[in-house]
Structures are given as C-alpha cells and as structure tokens.
Structure 1
Amino acid sequence: MKNKIYIIKTTFNDIKDVNKLQNILLEKNLASCIQINQIKSAYIWEGKICNEDEIQLSIKTNKKNAKKIESIILDTHPYEIPQILILKSKASKSYLKWHKNELRD
C-alpha cells in the first residue's frame, strides 16, 4: 500500500480552528496538501435535525501520518465528537511523487 494516498476528512465551524490545525500539520510535514471548502451539513444531534454551515478539510497524507493526524484532531478539535474519515486513494504517479517528497517519513 505504499502507492496510496490517505485522505482525512474533518469539519469545523470556525476558520480560526481550521487555520490552527492546518498550520500544525503543514509545519510538521504531516500533510502534503490541505483543501478547505465551505459546506452545508445536515445531521441528527441529540434527536434533533441540524443544518449548519461548516468548513470541510481534506488532508492528504500517508498511512503512518494518518494516525498522528487523527490524534492531533482529537486533541485540538472543539467538537464533542469530530468527524474523522480516513480514506485510501490512488493517485497519478507524478502527484504521488510530489506528495511523498513533501511528507515527513
């Protein structure tokens, strides 16, 4: 599975929290790229339907760093139960080469 990119998806409601996490991950070379998107989320929380504006992060990393990133998210996230989805994905050879060069081993 060395040729896989791991994509971690999480959401926040405040850009300050997004910036804090992105800076931690990029400064430590735990992520090669973080995409940030404004989204609308609909979900059930404590028996009620909620509709919220959120900020979604797609964090590109490797298997080893995915566990570290999950831990950092859990330690720093303001939500009681943050969304943390870890997906394996294939990538083009050129993107994969760049990605690997940007990460800490």
Structure 2
Amino acid sequence: MVGIVSAQTTVDDETRAHEIARGAVEARLAAGVHVDARMTSFYWWKDAVQHEREYRISFTTTADRAAALREWVHARHPYEVPQWMVLPVADASQEYLAWVVKETTAR
C-alpha cells in the first residue's frame, strides 16, 4: 500500500509561498498544498537567535514522491538552508489516499 506524507517548509514572502504551493501542484509533486497564515519563527542562525515573519507551506504527497518534491522545492527556495521536514500520515481514508496517489501521478 502506498503511504502519504506531509512535507513542510517555510518562506518569508507570501507571494513566493503561493508560487511554490501552486507550482508543486501543477508539477504533480503534491496533491494539495496549504499555505498557513503568517507566523513568527525563532531560530539559531550565524551564532545568534534570529526571528522572522514566515509562512509555513505544507505539501500532501506520497512517500515515494517526497524526494522529488524536496529537490523541486529546494531549487526554488530563497533560503540558504531551507527547512524541510517530512511527516508520515498515520491514518487516512482510502478515498483520500486514492485521490493523493491519482493527483501525484504524472500524466
């Protein structure tokens, strides 16, 4: 059985977030993408605690498409070291799983 995952990254520009989200769906690397409302992130960078207003982008895809999605996102990502996390989906309806597989299959 094919598994689905949620992959996440962040960017500091809303337009860029929308471009990445739409592009991933158009490329059939993700069945759906959420761009979350602006948030504030705190993190270590260059030996100091930084903070930035960012947008989280969450991609729904299959486990076997996650690596291709990562490469695609990183090629378009504005950060030197993009956040990239892939979280397994523990449970999903068969209908939703079938939809994700269908929409991430190249045509």
TM over 0.5: yes
Q: Distance in 2 between matches of 1:7 and 1:40?
A: 21
* Number of residue pairs matched by the alignment: 104
Q: Distance in 2 between matches of 1:103 and 1:55?
A: 23
**What SS does the aligned partner of 2:54 have?**
strand
Larger deviation, residues 50-59 vs 16-25: 16-25
Unaligned runs of 5+ in 2: none
Runs of 4+ in 1 over 3 A off after TM superposition: none
How far apart are residue 26 of structure 1 and its match? Answer: 1.0
Residue 103 (str. 1) matches residue 104 (str. 2): yes
Q: Distance in 1 between matches of 2:15 and 2:24?
A: 14
**What SS does the aligned partner of 1:6 have?**
strand
Residue 57 (str. 1) matches residue 33 (str. 2): no
Taking structure 1 as the reference length, what is the TM-score of the superposition?
0.88
Q: Which residue of 1 aligns with 2:19?
A: 20
**What SS does the aligned partner of 1:29 have?**
coil
RMSD: 1.5
Unaligned runs of 5+ in 1: none
What is the identity percentage for the equivalent residue pairs of Structure 1 and Structure 2?
A: 28
